[in-house]
Amino acid sequence: MSDPINIRDLAVGSLVILGSGAEAEIVSNPNDGVWLFARYLSSPDDPAMVGQEEMIFAQDVLEVRS
């Protein structure tokens, strides 16, 4: 199991990989340690999500790309 990611450290523009395998770009961070606002760049499970902005739950963030 990988170390948990402190999402409060993630800046706007960071790319993250989610549990579903989707990739998203952070558009704002409320710094509550629980949620991020991000835009989907890819979404293998549900291609309709691409381009949409969603709230991302901290536990869904598996990896930070940049």
Partner 1 sequence: MTMNGTHGYRPGLVDLASGQISREIFVNDDIYAEEQERVFARSWLFVGHESQIPNPGDFFASRMGEESVILCRDRAGAVHVFLNSCRHRGMKVCRYDDGNTSVFTCPYHGWSYGTDGALVGVPYFREAYRSELDKTKWGLVEVAQLCCYKGTVWANWDASAPPFREYLGEFRRFLDLILDGWDGREGQAELLGGVQKWLIPCNWKFPAENFSGDSYHNISHRSVDLVGVGPSGRSRRDMSELNASRKLHVAIPDRGHQTITYVMPKDHQPQAAYQNSPEVAEYFRHCEEERRRRPGANSRLIGAPGEIFPNVALLPRQPRTLAVWHPKSAHQTEVWRFFFVDRDAPKEVKNFLRDYYIRYSGPAGMTEQDDMENWNYAHAASRGTIARRYPYTYEMGLGHAIEDYEYEGLRMPGRVIDLTTAQASEEPMRNLYGRWAQFMEADSWDELMTWRRNDRSVAEAAK
Least distance CB 63 / partner 1 (angstroms) = 19
Indicate whether 17 belongs to the interface with partner 1 (CB under 8 A): no
- Taking CA atoms, 42 is separated from 35, 38, 39, 55, in Å, by 19, 12, 9, 15
User: Residue 21 burial by CB count (10 A; 0-12/13-18/19+): exposed, middle or buried?
Assistant: exposed
String of contacts with partner 1 for each residue 22-61, x by CB under 8 A:
------x-x-xxxx-x-----------------x-xxx--
15 binds partner 1 (CB under 8 A): no
